[in-house]
Structure formats: structure tokens, C-alpha cells
Amino acid sequence: MPENQSIRVSVDAVVFGYTSREGLSVLLIKRNIPPFRHAWALPGGLVHNEESLEEAVTRELQEETGVSIRYLEQLYTFGQPDRDPRNRVVSVAYFGLVRPDAFRLQAATDASEAAWFPMKSLPALAFDHATIVATALERLRGKLTYAPVGFELLDKTFPFSELEKLYQTVLDRPIDRRNFKKKILKLGLLEKTSEKQRHEGSGRPGDLYRFHAERYQALQHQGFTFEI
């Protein structure tokens, strides 16, 4: 018996932002069309017939927010039958982590506004986007155990305390600072520079470090686990 199938494919982008001052945030758009008109949602939309999934998510993100990200990682496929009240839509979600101050937001097409929201105070989200964000956050935290996620969010040289703060913010819990530093340095992911941290007041200025990209590439090839 022929199958009467009518399913559309869409993409959604979970873009996390991070700064030392503001912490972890999520890029959202205010929808300009029904359903959920005027509600906040993730950037995304239907995949065009001639597009790959990666092309579609890049286009939607650029159109709705003005943000262009070099790499987004595929997260998960969300396909509950009732996730979109209009028709059956299967969404392939992607996620990435960036510095918000690297972009100038500009909403267009289906979005009337684009804005960064702190992770701990997100508004009510359209569709099943709250579930998508929660899934992306869990993946991001998991990646911290095997990849130096977010190193590119730090300055070219940085005090070790900034790396600790990044990990604590994403994980949303304290870490054992002594063991954390010992493990990171043992992996050889950082190089100590001759520079010192600018320091106001009394006390000895701290060392500044930089990311050892070549060492990380070697560890990626070999595989490694980093327990925090």
C-alpha cells in the first residue's frame, strides 16, 4: 500500500554566546509570522530543495540575525508529529559557541528582532525550542570533557583564571581549580608567554597563556578524555 507522506524538513540554530562579563547567552529571534507571532524562537526555517542542510542553517542564521558563523555542529533531529501546528516538520538542529561582540545583529525576513538572552533568564520559546536549547546545552557541557571548547572565545593571551571562569560558567558549577590547572597544563594545551597580566593594586601580576593549536590537533587525532 503506498505511503501517504507529507513531511517538511527544517533547520534550527542554537548559537551560544560567551563573554567573561556577561557569561553564557543564547541568540534568539522574535517571530514576525504565525504561528507564535511575536514570540521568541531560535533562528531557523525550511530547507530549500536545492540546499544542503549546512547551507540552509547558514542562510537562515544570516537572514534572520545577520550572524555568519564559520562552523556549526549538527546536534540532533527533532521530529515529534505535533511540534509544529501547521504541518509535520522534522527539524535538524545545529549549535555553536561564539563571542557576541563579534557580530552586529540585524533581523530580517521572518524575524522582527534579534537579541542575545542570558542562559539563566530565557523567555518562553516557540515550538519545542526550549527542548532544543536544553539538548544543545547538555551537548556543549559534554564536549568540555574531550575538547577545549571555547578557547577561541578568549583573548589571544589570557590569565589562567579566565579559562577557569569559562569552564565554570558553561558547566554552571564550581571546579577544583588546582586539579583543573594541573590537568590542562599536563595535556600541553597551553603555552606560558613572557607577558604578565595587568594588575591594579598590590600583589604579583599573573602569567598570561596562549592556546597551543598544534598540540590540540595532535590530541584530537589521538583521542583524549579530560575529566573536570
**Among the options 51, 63, 73, 113, which is catalytic?**
113
Task: Decide if pLDDT at 186 tops 70.
Answer: yes
Q: What is the CATH number of domain 8-143?
A: 3.90.79.10
CA distance linking residue 153 with residue 98, whole number of Å:
6
Domain with CATH 1.10.10.10 in the chain: 151-222
Percent pLDDT > 90 in the chain is 72
pLDDT for 104-147, tens place per residue? 999 999 999 999 999 999 999 999 999 999 999 999 999 887 77
Domain with CATH 3.90.79.10 in the chain: 8-143
Q: Is 113 a catalytic residue?
A: yes
Yes or no: say if 43 and 31 are a contact pair by the CB < 8 Å rule.
Answer: no
Q: What is the CATH number of domain 151-222?
A: 1.10.10.10
What's the confidence (pLDDT) of residue 128?
98
User: Strand 40-41 and strand 44-46: pairing?
Assistant: unpaired
What's the confidence (pLDDT) of residue 162?
93
Yes or no: say if 13 and 129 are a contact pair by the CB < 8 Å rule.
Answer: no
Block residue for cell numbers 564550581? 174
